[in-house]
Structure 1
Amino acid sequence: MAEHDLTGDGFASSVAQVDATRVVTIGGRRLTIEEVVAIAQRRVPVALSGDPTWRARIERGADFLRRYLASGATVYGVNTGYGDACVVDVPPHLVEALPLQLTRYHGCGMGQHLDDAQTLAVIVARLNSLAYGLSGVRPVLLERLADLINHRVLPRIPSEGSVGASGDLTPLSYVAAALVGERDVLFKGGLRDAAGVWAALGLTPLTLAPKEGLALMNGTAVMTGLACLAFVRAEHLTRLAARLTALSTVALDGRAAHFDALLFEAKPHAGQMEAAAWIRADLAGRDDTPGHRLQDRYSIRCAPHVIGVARDALSWVRRDIENELNSANDNPLVDPDGERVLHGGNFYGGHIAFAMDALKTAVANLADLMDRQIALLVDDKFNNGLPRNLTGAAPARAPINHGFKAVQISSSAWTAEALKLTMPASVFSRSTEAHNQDKVSMGTIAARDCLRILELTEQVAAAHTLATVQAAQLRLRSNGTPLPAPLRDFVDSVSAQSPFVDEDRALEPDLRALTARIADCALVGDTVEGRRHG
């Protein structure tokens, strides 16, 4: 293991024995959503920048704050109480004890704990914000946050308890507590006390400098980390919805002409043009002789228009998430160059709140689209000659087989729940903390809602995938027309995991496995994941 600086006076490497080509650098550069996800899900380590200019800026901020306090200046949350108690002066002999008090009294989170990937995304977001150089923290604090990531020392962070301003105080207190050796952490597959884990790593728990408790907790890292994870899953779903629309078009013996490029040049929203192009590519070479209907129903014909809304939303959602990710969002800020302390409200999570409220609505619309397509496929009044409920049973067994009937019912239930959760969280501001925090963002609740809607929509997508692959195979048996190559490869990939349903069987294992694959952004290979990595 690399040597670590324990003095707080400089930097040391927190990455030991790693492939340098797979390390994400923190400090002096903008971090992307994909890099956060790579760290959180793919176990890519981090390293603090070696740029001497950046390192000097971090040192300079911490040094100025020390001198500023020594001069007798008053700094919120450093030698005053917190929140509404900012009017309370903290005696000099208690200043060093104040940060630990902050971490302790905020240890009141509830609800399910964040999972490993979510926890890592949160820590990365907090580290990157503090590395901006306007928080007045010591280099050793950044090193220890990097240690949490690289050694997979994961604080147990409850998901509930943040109103999104002053940042994510309560959930981030669990990150701060882990650094000082308090509360439990996950380490090497087990639940351990934080102090014991630091000892196992040959390190001592951190003693927080006067502003460092506030710097760790007074920011938007939880909502931002969750938003990064939500973004890539939503992006994958847009690509999957387009592919399933193409396959549904084949299965329903529909018309490829609905996706002609001229239609979308005439109404040039970039997202729907992109979705239509994906569908056209998947249908390339298909004979478009009008069959059962001159115009397919809306859930097929208008699919690019539905998917396109999500695609276009993702463009500005990315902008806002990455701006928040690459910002100093605590309070007060410490200007190391102008030697000023600035009291403001950068902890307010309004941009993430609005982005997540919008994204969850766009994703729920994808669930609704896919659910409507499933309904067409299973209903023999609308599926243009396919068997009722897509049963693959032999004629003698058909009366007792029901195929995808129950899958469609479950899909409808998941869709309804997703749609119910689209109520915006950002409009539910509640005055709290003695009316000091009298307008708050609810950004973390919006991000959690978005992740839940994603989970439900991925279940709908799994149901749609199984049903559409079954339908395409049934259509192939009836007319013998081969599938276009991209769709054939997709059907083969899904069928290898979930075979054709000839006799009724419980499909829960297939649905769970496929949902996990979708959540991992691994079902459609040509997604945009990783384009912006590095």
Structure 2
Amino acid sequence: MAEHDLIDTPDAGEHAASNDSTSTSAVVIGGRKLSIEEVVAIAQHRAPVALNADPAWRARIQRGADFLRRHLAAGATVYGVNTGYGDACVVDVPMELVEALPLQLTRYHGCGMGHYLNDAQTLAVIAARLNSLAYGFSGVRPVLLERLADLVNHRVLPRIPAEGSVGASGDLTPLSYVAAALAGERDVMFEGRLCDVRDVWSELGQTPLTLAPKEGLALMNGTAVMTGLACLAFARADHLTRLTARLTALCTVALDGRAAHFDATLFEVKPHAGQAEAAAWIRDDLKGRDDTPGHRLQDRYSIRCAPHVIGVVRDALSWVRRDIENELNSANDNPLIDPDNERVLHGGNFYGGHIAFAMDSLKVAVANLADLMDRQLALLVDVNFNNGLPRNLTGAAPARAAINHGFKAVQISSSAWTAEALKNTMPASVFSRSTEAHNQDKVSMGTIAARDCLRVLELTEQVAAAHTLATVQAARLRLRIDNSTPVPAPLQTFMESVSAQSPFVDEDRALEHDLRALTARIAACELLQDYRGGPQA
């Protein structure tokens, strides 16, 4: 189905999900393109989903399932429907066993390991799979899409182990847990408790779904896990770029640095768009300090070159968005069922190479943000480089200064988190392994890349939390030294927001709880509520 074949639904956001009466704005699935931000809204419980009400779209979905039934009845051979899976595609499945085959697929793939995906990750995965199947090339029935929507809207969350996918033939093992939940097998989280999914369907007044031919394969043979995780990673990386820019501006104040390093002309003559964007954010935050000369003619690289580091991430995000949203809005299982031309297309759209490369690249770019912030933090705590601030940013009275160490240990921890983030930048996509009797002999490792990226983001958010607390402390200490230091309004508002959660550190105290609370705000993209029109999705 070409882009122009998608059904135009300009008022799609006005369709509320029938089983979520608390929302007036559902994300409509089917006949339209889904954005990263919509997936994040679903994952963060800010929006339910609703299947497109357009009869033409629904009829097209049904035509695909009907054609597949007729095709099989005519004696055609369709991979994974009346054949074995993978290397066993040469094994014919008798017609009397065709109906049993989908459930068998879900069962033998129930071998995932590692930690379970959290609620937001699980919802993002389901949204990605639902949107792909709603494209209309998978030969599934409308009722399957309805049940996937039920998982989202009723928060029936399969427990999906994170490990076990090589990223082609799609995310088979982790997605088997979604398919099994629809079929009434395995455990789910529901209303905060671990439940047998059959009990949950009964509580909701429904029965488990009997998977039709190909529906098990359609649910599992795709890139939904890596793509759902990539959507969340994109949003968090976007937020981190904005936060790093703000902290650079506040560091400039705290270190009594020069706003002139972010002059627009500098970035007009080296026209990388992301670099100019980051410099503009910092410049806006420093309005009112334009003529402040600073201690040094040129600030150190981690301040002066911050837009050049942040800009790499901003420019990367532009093509990362393109590739994630292309994957999100694609039919990526195998075989594909063309309901309009009544063809079965055997191919390899389950291969997650674009997501793998995007996530490998993004984790490198994000780790550079960790390194940048860690270097800025090192300047702040060191009396040799912080332009007159107290050693380790201690706020203690002079009589107590000898036994107070301020942010010394926070900087050590930040360095540890940064080192671990940098260590995790090894690309996953180059570690293809031949599997499954050399049928899957070149695989993407896209899901491992996405999980690596999320881990790098987690570590970088911890660095950002440490840097935020330290930079706010440093700015307050600068004002203590010279209360006439100009602090532009956006930075004042930011300092107040942080200080409301983590007060000024005069006497040493354990900062773990402050750091954890602030890291959670950063991971949820909530720290910059006052910034650029509200929190970033």
TM class by shorter-chain length?
Answer: over 0.9
Taking a change above 3 Å as real, the CA distance of residues 489 and 174 of structure 1, as seen in their structure-2 partners, is same
CA–CA separation in structure 2 for the residues paired with 1:394 and 1:472: 17
Residue of structure 2 in register with 1:64 after alignment: 67
Residue of structure 2 in register with 1:343 after alignment: 346
Superposition TM-score, scaled by structure 2 size: 0.95
| Match of residue 149, structure 2, among 136, 146, 159 | 146
Determine if contact 2:170/2:352 at 8 Å carries over to the other structure.
yes
Tell me if 1:452 matches 2:455: yes
State the SS of the aligned residue for 1:341.
strand
Residue of structure 1 in register with 2:370 after alignment: 367
- The one-letter amino acid of 1:381's match is N
1:189 shift after superposition: 0.9
State the SS of the aligned residue for 2:387.
coil
- The one-letter amino acid of 2:153's match is N
- The one-letter amino acid of 2:288's match is G
1:51 shift after superposition: 1.0
CA–CA separation in structure 2 for the residues paired with 1:289 and 1:124: 50
1:306 shift after superposition: 0.1
Determine if contact 1:14/1:143 at 8 Å carries over to the other structure.
no
Residue of structure 2 in register with 1:260 after alignment: 263
CA–CA separation in structure 2 for the residues paired with 1:78 and 1:151: 30
CA–CA separation in structure 1 for the residues paired with 2:95 and 2:158: 31
CA–CA separation in structure 2 for the residues paired with 1:529 and 1:59: 42
Residue of structure 1 in register with 2:441 after alignment: 438
Residue of structure 1 in register with 2:472 after alignment: 469
Tell me if 1:512 matches 2:516: yes
- The one-letter amino acid of 1:137's match is V
Superposed CA deviations along residues 273-323 of structure 1, whole A, max 9, x for unmatched, are: 000000000000115343321000000000000000000000000000000
1:19 shift after superposition: 5.0
Task: Map 1:49-128 onto structure 2 (within 5 A).
Answer: 49-128=52-131
| Match of residue 197, structure 1, among 196, 200, 217 | 200
1:17 shift after superposition: 4.5
Superposed CA deviations along residues 95-134 of structure 1, whole A, max 9, x for unmatched, are: 1110010000000000000000000000000000000000
1:428 shift after superposition: 0.4
State the SS of the aligned residue for 1:396.
helix
Tell me if 1:483 matches 2:487: yes
State the SS of the aligned residue for 1:222.
helix
Determine if contact 1:34/1:529 at 8 Å carries over to the other structure.
no
Q: Which runs of 5+ in 2 are unaligned?
A: 1-15
Tell me if 1:386 matches 2:416: no
Task: Map 1:185-264 onto structure 2 (within 5 A).
Answer: 185-264=188-267
1:52 shift after superposition: 1.4
CA–CA separation in structure 2 for the residues paired with 1:425 and 1:17: 39
Equivalenced residues, count? 521
Task: After the TM superposition, list the runs of 4 or more consecutive aligned residues in structure 1 that deviate by more than 3 angstroms.
Answer: 527-531
1:20 shift after superposition: 5.6
- The one-letter amino acid of 2:115's match is Q
Q: Which runs of 5+ in 1 are unaligned?
A: 1-12
CA–CA separation in structure 1 for the residues paired with 2:97 and 2:58: 30
Task: Map 1:281-360 onto structure 2 (within 5 A).
Answer: 281-360=284-363
- The one-letter amino acid of 1:165's match is A
State the SS of the aligned residue for 1:215.
helix
CA–CA separation in structure 1 for the residues paired with 2:533 and 2:332: 29
- The one-letter amino acid of 2:161's match is P
1:258 shift after superposition: 0.2
1:41 shift after superposition: 0.5
Residue of structure 1 in register with 2:43 after alignment: 40
CA–CA separation in structure 1 for the residues paired with 2:508 and 2:359: 39
1:15 shift after superposition: 2.6
Q: CA RMSD in A?
A: 1.4
Identical pairs, percent: 84
State the SS of the aligned residue for 1:111.
strand
- The one-letter amino acid of 1:236's match is H
Residue of structure 2 in register with 1:501 after alignment: 505
- The one-letter amino acid of 2:321's match is R
Determine if contact 1:236/1:527 at 8 Å carries over to the other structure.
no
1:524 shift after superposition: 1.1
Superposition TM-score, scaled by structure 1 size: 0.96
| Match of residue 414, structure 1, among 417, 420, 425 | 417
CA–CA separation in structure 2 for the residues paired with 1:501 and 1:530: 27
- The one-letter amino acid of 1:473's match is R
Determine if contact 1:235/1:528 at 8 Å carries over to the other structure.
no
Residue of structure 1 in register with 2:428 after alignment: 425
Determine if contact 1:15/1:45 at 8 Å carries over to the other structure.
no
Residue of structure 2 in register with 1:10 after alignment: none
CA–CA separation in structure 2 for the residues paired with 1:69 and 1:17: 38
CA–CA separation in structure 1 for the residues paired with 2:176 and 2:46: 24
CA–CA separation in structure 2 for the residues paired with 1:128 and 1:99: 20
